[in-house]
Amino acid sequence: MTPARPITLGLTGSIGMGKSTVAAMFAEAGVPVFDADAAVHVLQGPGGRVVSAIEAAFPGATGPNGVDRAMLGARVLGDRAALARLEAIVHPAVGEERAAFLARHATAPIVLFDVPLLFETGGESRVDRVVVVSAPPAIQHARVLARPGMTPAKLDAILARQLPDAEKVARADYVVPTGGSLDATRRAVASIIACLEGRETPLS
């Protein structure tokens, strides 16, 4: 008999949709969460194991504190070839971190992978179910443009790399709305967990 393994959830959503807040709600409910962005920060930080490879591919983009993310971001923004070179370095390393996380939580009923570009990188094929976080465009834009250093041009460039929200929602197994109250969002998260545990049908 094949040993039981956790149900794997992929959590995604476009910038400004509240994905980090929803990931925290899953964690508060006891679901182990793998944060792909946090893994990248460690891999690219001081002593990180992809720093030397990134320096070789993008000379001058690293320093004593690891990768200069602002400089590297500026060099790949809008340059598909440069972005592909970077992803070829980072994605395999993140995959190894993901496998180690899954091994550590092999007995958990559910685990969640917080992956901003899940659909864009084909990551939906590596999880059992996909959860998309969504909010109305006006709320999304207001959230993002309130961030320090963010401009409409930068937001447009970021959104150009991401699938439209409507397409993500159409491809999701579950959708968590974040345009209302935190309590409503938390109820949607609890409903998904209950559904996966076989206790109820998820909230629509």
Q: Concatenate the DSSP letters of all residues of 83-146 into one string.
A: HHHHHHHHHHHHHHHHHHHHHHTTT-SEEEEE-TTTTTTTGGGGSSEEEEEE--HHHHHHHHHT
Kindly tell me the number of DSSP H helices and DSSP E strands found in the chain.
9, 7
Buried b (16+ CB within 10 A) or exposed e, 1-32: eeeeebbbbbbbbbbbbbbeebbebbeeeebb
Residue 166, CA distances (Å) to 14, 171, 185 in order: 10, 9, 19
Arithmetic mean of pLDDT over the chain: 91
Q: What is the pLDDT of residues 50-79, one digit of tens each?
A: 999 999 999 999 999 999 998 998 899 888
Fold (topology level) of 8-32+108-204: Rossmann fold (3.40.50)
Calpha distance 67→43 (Å, rounded): 9
- Is the Cβ–Cβ distance between 148 and 141 less than 8 Å? no
Binding residues: 16-21
- Is the Cβ–Cβ distance between 23 and 110 less than 8 Å? no
Calpha distance 174→177 (Å, rounded): 10
Map residue 63 onto helix, strand or coil.
Answer: strand
Please report the pLDDT score of residue 201 as a whole number: 54
In the numeric block, which tokens belong to residue 182?
Answer: 């935190």
> What is the pTM assigned to this prediction?
0.81
Binding residues for ATP: 16-21
Q: What is the pLDDT of residues 108-152, one digit of tens each?
A: 999 999 998 899 888 899 999 999 999 999 999 999 999 999 999
